[in-house]
């Protein structure tokens, strides 16, 4: 929730004075991407931590109740139980942070998670996803319907015309992209957004969350994102309340890397369950 939403007078005049040192941002992004990842036990621990930040997502035009049900099962059991036992992490309640679906599939997700006996939040991409260009009344109704169906988190697609004309809106999180663009979550853009979050916190005392989404597919990438958050915002942002990764295929690669760490070999296609 922003300072404006809490009733505090929010001075946005400083936004017009913001300047971005693009060469410096690009150098910082290259530094993050070039860094060698942590190894062995440390890597396995960080990968399990990454799992807990994932909004496990399906946003396909052919989504059905059955594939949403599989997704929810995978959200509750993201890593094979024997692999967790080998790492002495079984019974620790490791799940993804949320399940993210279209509004029409929220009921399916809520039902599946309830049947699985877990309270993982259901997020929904309401408000005319991915363009956000439907009428305000329609977008508000879509939010209402998603919440009525059981969604506890809403990924709002803002009308970008408002941003381009300086009519800013408050939020609990900011997100790099819808995941449906040609280019989605990139490190240079993320660095600028994270420093804006940091500046906003320094000025208002309010912590805003961050969610990169789209194109994050490899375990190595997830470690780079965690490292970036830790270095730019600190450990206090490394929790699901303030950091999420929107992804659909990332979890599969993380589980493959953990399988390799435990067994010393890479998993065959049939070794790991599909979401």
**Peptide linkage before 130 cis (omega within 30 of 0):** yes
- Closest of 257, 239, 209, 265 to residue 37, by C-alpha: 257
Q: Which residues contact 179 (CB under 8 A, 6 or more apart)?
A: 57, 59, 130, 185, 213, 214, 215, 246
Q: What is the rounded CA–CA span in Å between residue 26 and residue 187? A: 8
- Closest of 30, 142, 145 to residue 157, by C-alpha: 142
HSE, side-chain direction, 13 A CA sphere, residue 52: 14
Q: What is the rounded CA–CA span in Å between residue 182 and residue 191? A: 19
Residues marked active site are found at 175, 211
Q: Is 31 left (phi over 0), alpha (psi -120 to 50) or beta?
A: alpha
Residue 52 token pair: 């807990």
Instruction: Give the C-alpha distances (Å, rounded to integers) separating 187 from 7, 27, 249.
Output: 33, 10, 19
Query: What radius of gyration, in Å, describes the C-alpha atoms of the chain?
Result: 19
Residue 83 token pair: 């692999």
């Amino acid at each position: 929730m922003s300072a404006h939403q809490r009733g505090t007078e929010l001075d946005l005049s400083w936004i017009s004075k913001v300047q971005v040192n693009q060469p410096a941002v690009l150098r910082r992004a290259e530094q993050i991407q070039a860094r060698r990842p942590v190894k062995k036990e440390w890597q396995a621990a960080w990968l399990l931590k990454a799992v807990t930040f994932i909004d496990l997502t399906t946003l396909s035009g052919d989504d059905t109740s059955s594939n949403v049900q599989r997704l929810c099962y995978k959200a509750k059991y993201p890593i094979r139980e024997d692999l967790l036992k080998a790492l002495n992490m079984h019974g620790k309640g490791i799940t993804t942070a949320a399940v993210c679906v279209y509004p029409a599939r929220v009921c399916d997700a809520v039902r599946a998670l309830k049947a699985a006996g877990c309270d993982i939040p259901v997020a929904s991409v309401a408000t005319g996803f991915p363009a956000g260009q439907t009428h305000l009344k329609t977008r508000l109704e879509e939010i209402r319907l998603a919440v009525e169906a059981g969604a506890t988190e809403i990924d709002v697609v803002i009308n970008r015309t408002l941003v381009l004309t300086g009519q800013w809106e408050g939020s609990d999180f900011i997100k790099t992209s819808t995941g449906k663009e040609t280019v989605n979550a990139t490190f240079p853009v993320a660095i600028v957004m994270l420093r804006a979050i940091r500046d906003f916190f320094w000025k208002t005392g309010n912590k805003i969350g961050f969610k990169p989404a789209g194109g994050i597919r490899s375990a190595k990438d997830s470690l780079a994102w965690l490292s970036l958050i830790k270095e730019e915002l600190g450990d206090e942002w490394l929790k699901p309340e303030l950091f999420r990764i929107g992804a659909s295929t990332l979890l599969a690669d993380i589980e493959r890397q953990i399988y390799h760490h435990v067994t010393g070999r890479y998993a065959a296609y049939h070794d790991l369950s599909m979401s």
